[in-house]
Every structure is written in C-alpha cells, then in structure tokens.
C-alpha cells in the first residue's frame, strides 16, 4: 500500500545539514509517508550518510552523477515518489512532530485542489548580522506573509510546501531552465496560481530553517544571485507577472540605487565583512541600516545586471 505522502528532498553538499532533517522526520507522529532524497551530484559523501539512515526511515535515494540543478532533483524525486501528496522539504529544515500529518490534513480537508505553504523561521547563531538584522527581518517576513491576500500567496512557494502528485504532473513539474540561485519555486507557485489552484498558507506547519545566511557577506551575495535569477522568470512570464524592482523614492532609494551600481560578488563580500566587523560597536539601528543597504542594493543589482551573478546551482 502506498503512503499518503512522499517528502522530496533535493540536496547538494548536504551531508552536514541532512541529519537534523532526517532526525526530525524520524520523530513524526505518523508513519504514513516515505522520504525521497535526491543527491544532486555527491560532493561530500551524502550517499553514505543516507545509507546509514535507511533502517530508521522509509528512505529512498537518487544520486545524480553530476550537478543537474534543483529543478531536476525535485522532478526526479516526484517521479519516484509513490505518495499521493508531494511535500517538498529543503535539506536544511527542522520540521515539528506534526509536519507530515499537517500537510496531509490540509489537503484532506480542502474542498478542491490546493497548494500548501508552510513558512519557515530562521535559526541564527549569535552573529552581528543576526542581532542587527536577521532576526528582525525574519519576524517581519512572517508577519507580512500571514497578511498576504490569497491572490499573492503564490510568491511564498519555497522550501516547505506540498501539492498533489497529480497537480505536479499536470503542471509539468519544476522548470529546468532555472539554474541560478532560486526562483524555480516562485515559478512553480505562479503556475499553480495561473492554473486556478489555491495556494494556502498554513501557520501550523512552521519549520525551523538552519540556513547559510548568517553573515552580511553571505546574505548580500545571495541577494545578488536571487535578483539575477529573476531574469529567467521574467523571460518566461513577462513583467506583468511581477512588478519590476526599483530602489524606491527619497534619499534611501537614491542610496540603494547608487549601491546597486557597484554591487558585485567581490564588493559585496568586502562590504559585508566590513559591516559585520563594525556592527557590534555602532548603534543597532545604524548596523541594521548598513546591512539593509547591502541586501537591497545587491538584490537590485542582480535584477538590473543579472550577468554579475551567472553561476549555476
């Protein structure tokens, strides 16, 4: 008998991250699920780690011989999955005991086909970035996400989501054209919305995110890459799907726009390191502004000059 749900986990270089997720999944309050982990090119012994968990979880593994991208990994996992509900979980999440049961319940109780978004809350070490910016930005994101009108919730499709296997197949899965950092998830959410599938935010499915953005340098460089990946989305769906980013008005907008002109991977790493060095010694509001300047300038630079961040992921 097939399980109710399949948890699809794409991973690359996840040998140190995965044990937290796998431990959380082994403690779920239901056993009506399987875990499908897709290793997108094994660069750190992830396959060996997964073998050591095979007697503790209903675990199946796919190992790509090389890096094919997150979309390819998600689609391969969905193709192998035997559950009716596909739950996407990134490899750096720590879900609660009712994670699987909750995702299944939202689909079972819905009056029609839906996509379900469980939000994530970041777990930060005690860094200057976390104290001055990260934790407050996290709280604002969750607050704003819970207030989004339903016609905009598709933008939240990300690391902790679920959809029926039938809908996933009908949409053609995740788009393999997304090889930069992110946006394959936003694209999938947009196509759900365009197909008339309601995207429901479920506060009860919050998961802890043990992410890599723990310093200003890492966060700004990721903002640059995310802004760059937006080019693929606009090339497919046009600017009518999502407004063009801008620096905004006023003095702050001018400063962000000026920062975007100079934002590259090299300059952002240097800027981030400098900000994290001085952040403990300046008023926290000033530190927050300096970090926000880097993040917003980087995102705008990526969107306006996507060639500055062209690496594949």
* Domains of the chain, start order: 5-209 (3.90.550.10), 216-308 (no CATH)
What are the pLDDT digits (tens) for 102-160? 999 999 999 999 999 999 999 999 999 999 999 999 999 999 999 999 999 999 999 99
Over the chain, what HEC string results? CCCCEEEEEEECCCCCCHHHHHHHHHCCCCCCEEEEEEECCCCCCHHHHHHHCCCCCCEEEEECCCCCCHHHHHHHHHHHCCCCEEEEECCCEECCCCHHHHHHHHHHHCCCCEEEECCEEECCCCCHHHHHHHHHHHHHHHHHHHHCCHHHHHHHCCCEEEEEHHHHHHHCCCCCCCCCCCCHHHHHHHHHHHCCCEEEECHHHCEEECCCCCCHHHHHHHHHHHHHHHHHHHHHHCCCCCCCCCCCCHHHHHHHHHHHHHCCHHHHHHHHHHHHHHHHHCCHHHHHHHHHHHHHHHHHHHHHCHHHCCCCC
Q: Report how far residue 9's alpha carbon sits from residue 94's, in angstroms, rounded to the nearest whole number.
A: 12
pLDDT at 1 (0 to 100): 84
d(CA 248, CA 250): 7
pLDDT band at 246 (very low <50, low <70, confident <90, very high): confident
pLDDT at residue 181, as a whole number: 80
Q: How far apart are CA 252 and CA 233, in angstroms?
A: 27
The whole-number pLDDT of residue 312 equals 62
Q: Which residues contact 203 (CB under 8 A, 6 or more apart)?
A: 119, 146
Label residue 239 by pLDDT band (50, 70, 90). Answer: confident
Q: What is the largest CA-CA distance in the chain?
A: 62
Mean pLDDT, rounded, of the chain: 94
**Per-residue pLDDT tens digits for 173-182:** 999 999 878 8
Region of residue 306 (left: phi > 0; alpha: psi -120 to 50; beta: else): alpha
Q: How many Å separate Cα 92 from the centre of its chain?
A: 10
Pairing of strands 160-164, 85-89: antiparallel
């Amino acid at each position: 008998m097939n399980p109710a749900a399949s948890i699809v986990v794409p991973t690359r270089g996840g040998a140190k991250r995965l044990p937290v997720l796998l431990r959380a999944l082994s403690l779920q309050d239901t056993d009506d699920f399987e875990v499908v982990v897709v290793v997108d090119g094994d660069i750190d012994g992830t396959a060996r780690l997964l073998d050591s968990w095979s007697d503790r979880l209903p675990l199946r593994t796919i190992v790509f011989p090389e890096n094919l991208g997150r979309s390819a990994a998600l689609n391969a996992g969905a193709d192998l999955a035997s559950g009716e509900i596909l739950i996407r979980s990134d490899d750096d999440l720590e879900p609660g005991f009712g994670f699987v049961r909750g995702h299944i319940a939202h689909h079972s109780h819905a009056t029609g086909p839906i996509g379900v978004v469980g939000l994530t809350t970041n777990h930060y070490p005690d860094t200057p970035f976390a104290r001055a910016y990260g934790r407050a930005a996290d709280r604002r994101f969750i607050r704003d996400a819970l207030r989004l009108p339903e016609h905009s919730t598709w933008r939240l499709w990300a690391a902790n989501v679920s959809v029926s296997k039938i809908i996933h197949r009908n949409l053609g899965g995740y788009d393999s054209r997304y090889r930069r950092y992110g946006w394959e998830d936003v694209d999938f959410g947009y196509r759900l919305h365009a197909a008339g599938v309601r995207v429901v935010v479920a506060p009860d499915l919050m998961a802890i995110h043990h992410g890599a953005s723990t310093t200003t340098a890492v966060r700004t460089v990721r903002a640059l890459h995310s802004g760059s990946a937006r080019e693929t989305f606009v090339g497919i769906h046009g600017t009518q799907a999502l407004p063009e980013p801008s620096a905004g008005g006023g003095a702050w907008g001018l400063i962000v726009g000026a920062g975007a002109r100079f934002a590259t991977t090299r300059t952002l790493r240097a800027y981030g390191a400098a900000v994290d060095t001085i952040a403990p010694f300046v008023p926290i509001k000033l530190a927050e502004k300096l970090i926000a300047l880097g993040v917003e300038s980087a995102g705008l630079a990526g969107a306006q000059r996507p060639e500055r961040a062209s690496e594949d992921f």
